[in-house]
Amino acid sequence: MSASVTTGWACPVCGNGRAEPRFPVDTTATEAGVDAEAFRPSSERFGRTAGTLVRCLSCGHGSLDRMPDADAVSGAYAEAADPVSVREEPGQVETARRALARIEKVVPPGLVCDLVCWTGSFLVAARERGWDPTGVEPSRWASERARARGLHVRTTELDDPAVAVGSCRLVVMCDVLEHLVEPGHALDVARELLEERGILYLTLPDAGSALARAMGRRWWSVLPMHVQYFTRGSLTRLLQRHGFRVVSITTHAKVFTTRYYAERLGGYSPLVERLTLAALERAGWADRPVGPDFHDRMAVLATR
């Protein structure tokens, strides 16, 4: 694609104003509005965006050239609900346990704040391992579910955590930065909360991965609620700009049931989804937990 200057656009990572179109808006885009159904974690609206996606010619970061209305986005997140998340909580707790085993090689348990914690699975795993867990979540449905699990979770935005400055051993943002119009602001909030030598833990899709490049617009992380598309390089650059030092970036596998992964096939072919689910159920494998690593997701440890 030919290079262009996108009027009014500036890269959220490096501030550059030169970009090339990556995925232009088509008839399946949601630029006319956003809705809570599109913002549920188990959405299978693959290939749809909330506007034209562009790629920065300086750092390679991808983002929408024009962001959706902020109030509409906040309203959609507040109303988002996803019963599938409850069914899949055991796998999400196991995913968090694996992450915490790595984190605890760097820092011992202390206060952990999960910024946008959804139903609180990371905090459940942290509590099991001796951490003091707290979190915030804008979805009323998800935050109520988190509190039903005995967690201290407030229904609010991530920049209102009500946690003392410099008090957190660990700040967590799992699958958060790709949703944010101002991801740098979220990093500033996290940095302020961390104690000296505290750790920031991030997970998010890797738009620079071989799989993402090969699948293009049909990659399953191209979704209406994603407004940022980070690569390892662009994420490292943003972290450094906001006062963090990257400790490690690894791939990140999530544990779900085989049923969940089969259901995601419906975003490509409902027939394939039905046939796959039927085969899994006949074999008795539909509720078996699996954690395949497609090498298209990042798990990041960083320190101030």
In a domain, 244, yes or no: yes
Question: Are residues 137 and 107 both part of a single domain?
Answer: yes
Average pLDDT, stretch 226-249?
97
266 in the same domain as 187: yes
Instruction: Classify residue 76 by its DSSP letter.
Output: H
User: With pLDDT > 70 as the criterion, what percentage of the chain qualifies?
Assistant: 94
Residue 78 forms part of a structural domain: no
Domain for residue 90, yes or no? yes
**Do both 187 and 155 map to the same domain?**
yes
At 24, list the tokens: 């232009």
Cα distance between residue 229 and residue 177, in whole Å: 9
Q: Are 34 and 92 within one domain?
A: no
Considering the entire predicted model, what is its pTM?
A: 0.94
Do 245 and 203 reside in the same domain of the chain? yes
Same domain, 53 and 104: no
What does residue 33 show for φ and ψ, rounded to 5 degrees?
A: 165, 165
Residues 103 and 169 grouped into a single domain: yes
Q: How many CB atoms lie within 10 A of CB 138?
A: 22
User: What domain count does the chain have?
Assistant: 2
Q: Is 168 left (phi over 0), alpha (psi -120 to 50) or beta?
A: beta
Domain co-membership, 51 together with 187: no
Q: How far apart are CA 146 and CA 89, in angstroms?
A: 11
Report if residue 101 sits inside a domain.
yes
For residue 203, give its domain range: 83-303
Q: pLDDT for 17-67, tens place per residue?
A: 999 999 877 555 444 456 777 778 888 888 888 889 999 999 999 999 988
User: Does one domain contain both 143 and 290?
Assistant: yes
Tell whether 21 and 128 lie within a shared domain: no
Q: How far is CA 258 from the centre of its chain?
A: 21
175 falls within a domain: yes
Say if residues 167 and 138 touch (Cβ distance below 8 Å). Answer: no
The C-alpha angle with vertex 58 and arms to 52 and 64, in degrees rounded to 5, equals 15
Domain CATH code at residue 267: 3.40.50.150
Pairing of strands 168-174, 289-290: unpaired
Decide if 20 is inside a domain: yes
CB 115 within 8 A of CB 121: no
Last residue of a domain, one of 69, 103, 126: 69
93-141 residue pLDDT tens: 999 999 999 999 999 999 999 999 999 999 999 999 999 999 999 999 9
Count helices and strands (H / E) in the chain: 10, 14
